[in-house]
Chains A and B, each alone.
Chain A
Amino acid sequence: MPADSTSTAASKAAAALADVEPRPGVPKPDPILIADGVARRFGGLTAVEVDHLEVQRGVITALIGPNGAGKTTFFNLLTGFDKPNEGTWSFEGSDLGGVPAHKVARKGMVRTFQLTKALSKLSVMDNMRLGATGQKGENFFRALIPGIWTGQQKEIDERALDLLGRFKLDAKKDDFAGSLSGGQRKLLEMARALMVEPTMVMLDEPMAGVNPALTQSLLGHVKDLREQGMTVLFVEHDMDMVRDISDWVVVMAQGKIVAEGPPDSVMADQAVIDAYLGAHHDAPLSVEEEQAQLAEAEAELEALQEEREK
């Protein structure tokens, strides 16, 4: 795994974001994805209402927030799997409003899913082959003449085997994808997404349901994406992972972006703590705690009075 925290891509990413002010909706020096006023309502419920968000090219951006914050809905909107009620967003300068999901993927923005979507009754290799774009044999009439597409298929197979090797799935290439473990399916899904040759990878909870032994290898693969010049935006709940690999963190709560910044500072942000723990999270939970707090306050007051009396 070539990627570690001191790699060139990581330091470049850190340098690019060094002068960016940590506040919601801040402009970035080289944004690949820009969202403006994107809102999605389900009846009376506003699931997503993002005023402005820019995602820096070539860095790993984490999208965090408590359950129900609208992270996955926002993901669906950006990738064309859902349509917003209002708003515009663009990827590499081209407007993505109303563009269907498959065309978004062809433009180079490829996503994975929170619940892994391995295609169970297809072999691991066929899962990989499916990811390759511009296949001649995907046209009905050309499909009938194998001579047209077999050559291209060989190149695709080579690329697929190479990727499977990197993800340590090459021994499983002829197995049904449905026979893989949960963690292996996550790996397969990520490898399959890379077959599309994306410029930006959107990972929806890549660590959900993965055993700790595989977590490290998955982390390495995500860092590897940045190393290869890809932009990564991922949703995650595991704070250790977020701190470990992300260059920039965007925090969502109740559909809005409440904070942005480098991982260490953003986690100390009052808005973030409020979003996760509630605005009154330091309110006493038990009678003893309340009395202790009261006693503390009284002692402080007494000390003040004593000072004045002197």
Chain B
Amino acid sequence: MDFGVIFDNTLNSLFNAEALYLALAAVGLNIHFGYTGLLNFGQVGFLAIAAYGLGVGVTYLGLPFFASIALGLALAVLLALLLGIPTLRLRADYLAIVTIASSEVIRLVARSAAMRDITGGSSGLTGFAGGFYDLNPLSDGTYGFGPWIYNENRFWLLLVGWSLVVLGSIMIFMLMRSPWGRILKAIREDEDAVRSLGKNVVGYKMQSLVLGGLFGALAGFVFAIANSSIQPDNYGTQLTFFAYTALILGGTARVLGPVAGSIIFIGLFVFLENTLVQAINADIIPESIMNSNQVGIVRGILVGLGLMLLMIFRPQGIFGDKKELALDAR
């Protein structure tokens, strides 16, 4: 059993693209759910629509890279408005239903045969990431140290992506200590009280939905560029719930909660997978109990178990405040 491989792979994954786009998606969800109390169960819809905006912009419309990015962001804003206008006046549950449905609608429309010429149907899109890598100032070779060694393209993506995470986190820190953020947090507690104090609650919920959706869009760009392809079936509801898991793991309504949560969640996934594979290869786990084809399933079971234990022993997440959570019980 090669512990070196296990730890190398685990450490490498902590800052790789998977953790990066999950972090961006979770940062957006933190604005929606953590600060404003909006139940957005369709965050992946923002990832998908932005990724397709980029992909379709470059490959079908023939737009330059930045124009395609702008198209993706604009589509994410449009999606937020479309979701918000009919539902934000209603009770929170309506947004939950509409978001989960719309994210599936986006995926199913994109993979439909009728859209094959535009979105590539079920086989998706490729050949749109070149514009991003053309901007890469790094020369060919490998960069990084220790377990974190990446080729020039991956390193460029991670550099840009994590910079966005840092800038986004600073922005959220600034916003949430301002009067604007105070209104969002107050809406989470009781929107009628906020209304009675003369604040336009629907307007603020809309701003929150758009801002969180834009972080989802950034996650969508990273996801698409890292794979150099857009596969519609990668944008299923599972990704939304992974982002929720990462957010709750790190602690909701904490600036760094979703970032740390994503890194730990992905690290745990990769660690368990590598450990199980190594243990099977070294015959520590005999074939009669499980084989290497079952690693994915067992890994999911173990992560689920870990999350249950977390909810029991540390329900506030890593950065959360237990005193704050206890207020709910009153």
Interface, chain A (partner B; CB < 8 A): 79, 81, 100-103, 105-106, 110-113, 117-122, 126-127, 129-131, 133, 135-140, 142-144, 146, 149, 153, 176, 178-179, 189, 192-193, 195-196
Do B175 and A144 touch across chains, with their CB atoms under 8 A apart? yes
Complex interface: chain A residues within 8 A of B190 (CB): 117, 119
Binds A, one of B12-20, B112-120, B219-227, B321-329: B321-329
Complex interface: chain A residues within 8 A of B207 (CB): 140
Binds A, one of B39-47, B196-204, B228-236, B274-282: B196-204
Question: A102-B201, A143-B181 are contacts. A120–B189 as well, Cβ < 8 Å?
Answer: yes
Complex interface: chain A residues within 8 A of B182 (CB): 122, 126, 129-130
Q: With A and B bound together, what is the CA distance between A146 and B190 in angstroms? A: 26
B152-207, CB < 8 A from A: 171, 174-175, 178-183, 185-186, 188-190, 192-201, 207
Question: A102-B201, A149-B178, A153-B179 are contacts. A120–B330 as well, Cβ < 8 Å?
Answer: yes
In the complex, which residue of chain B has the Cβ closest to the Cβ of A106? B198
Choose one: B181, B194, B328; the contact of A120 (CB below 8 Å).
B328
Choose one: B194, B327, B330; the contact of A130 (CB below 8 Å).
B194
Chain B proximity of A243: nearest CB distance (Å): 28
Complex interface: chain A residues within 8 A of B330 (CB): 120, 178
Do A130 and B178 touch across chains, with their CB atoms under 8 A apart? no
Do A101 and B195 touch across chains, with their CB atoms under 8 A apart? yes
Q: With A and B bound together, what is the CA distance between A112 and B195 in angstroms? A: 11
Choose one: A120, A127, A136; the contact of B327 (CB below 8 Å).
A120
Question: A101-B195, A113-B196, A130-B197 are contacts. A121–B178 as well, Cβ < 8 Å?
Answer: no
Chain A proximity of B16: nearest CB distance (Å): 31
Extra A-B contacts (11), CB below 8 Å, given A101-B196, A121-B188, A146-B178? A81-B192, A113-B196, A117-B190, A130-B182, A130-B197, A136-B179, A140-B180, A144-B174, A153-B179, A176-B327, A192-B197
Q: With A and B bound together, what is the CA distance between A262 and B195 in angstroms? A: 33
Q: With A and B bound together, what is the CA distance between A150 and B185 in angstroms? A: 19
Q: With A and B bound together, what is the CA distance between A120 and B327 in angstroms? A: 7
Chain B proximity of A49: nearest CB distance (Å): 25
In the complex, which residue of chain A has the Cβ closest to the Cβ of B89? A100
Complex interface: chain A residues within 8 A of B197 (CB): 102, 105, 110, 130-131, 133, 192-193, 195-196
Chain B proximity of A54: nearest CB distance (Å): 23
Q: With A and B bound together, what is the CA distance between A115 and B114 in angstroms? A: 54
Interface, chain B (partner A; CB < 8 A): 171, 174-175, 178-183, 185-186, 188-190, 192-201, 207, 211, 323-324, 327-328, 330
Across the A-B interface, give the 5 residue pairs with the lowest CB-CB distance, nearest first.
A178-B327, A143-B180, A137-B179, A143-B178, A105-B198
Do B179 and A113 touch across chains, with their CB atoms under 8 A apart? no
Q: With A and B bound together, what is the CA distance between A131 and B188 in angstroms? A: 16
Complex interface: chain A residues within 8 A of B196 (CB): 79, 81, 101, 105, 110-113, 117, 193
Tell me how many residue pairs across A and B have CB atoms closer than 8 Å: 111
Chain A proximity of B4: nearest CB distance (Å): 45
Chain A proximity of B276: nearest CB distance (Å): 40
Do B174 and A146 touch across chains, with their CB atoms under 8 A apart? yes
- Interface-central residue, B174, B199, B201, by most chain A CB under 10 Å: B199
Do B180 and A138 touch across chains, with their CB atoms under 8 A apart? yes
Choose one: B194, B327, B328; the contact of A179 (CB below 8 Å).
B327
Do B200 and A102 touch across chains, with their CB atoms under 8 A apart? yes
Q: With A and B bound together, what is the CA distance between A54 and B211 in angstroms? A: 45
Q: With A and B bound together, what is the CA distance between A79 and B199 in angstroms? A: 14
Do A122 and B178 touch across chains, with their CB atoms under 8 A apart? no
Q: With A and B bound together, what is the CA distance between A140 and B181 in angstroms? A: 9
Do A121 and B174 touch across chains, with their CB atoms under 8 A apart? no
Complex interface: chain B residues within 8 A of A119 (CB): 185-186, 189-190, 193-194
Complex interface: chain A residues within 8 A of B188 (CB): 121
Chain B proximity of A137: nearest CB distance (Å): 4
In the complex, which residue of chain A has the Cβ closest to the Cβ of B199? A102
Q: With A and B bound together, what is the CA distance between A138 and B195 in angstroms? A: 14
Complex interface: chain A residues within 8 A of B171 (CB): 144
- Interface-central residue, A121, A136, A179, by most chain B CB under 10 Å: A121
Q: With A and B bound together, what is the CA distance between A118 and B330 in angstroms? A: 12
Chain B proximity of A213: nearest CB distance (Å): 21
Question: A102-B201, A110-B197, A122-B189 are contacts. A139–B327 as well, Cβ < 8 Å?
Answer: no
Complex interface: chain A residues within 8 A of B180 (CB): 137-140, 142-143
Chain A proximity of B35: nearest CB distance (Å): 11
Complex interface: chain B residues within 8 A of A105 (CB): 195-198
Question: A121-B324, A144-B174, A178-B330 are contacts. A133–B183 as well, Cβ < 8 Å?
Answer: no
Q: With A and B bound together, what is the CA distance between A120 and B321 in angstroms? A: 14
Complex interface: chain B residues within 8 A of A129 (CB): 179, 182
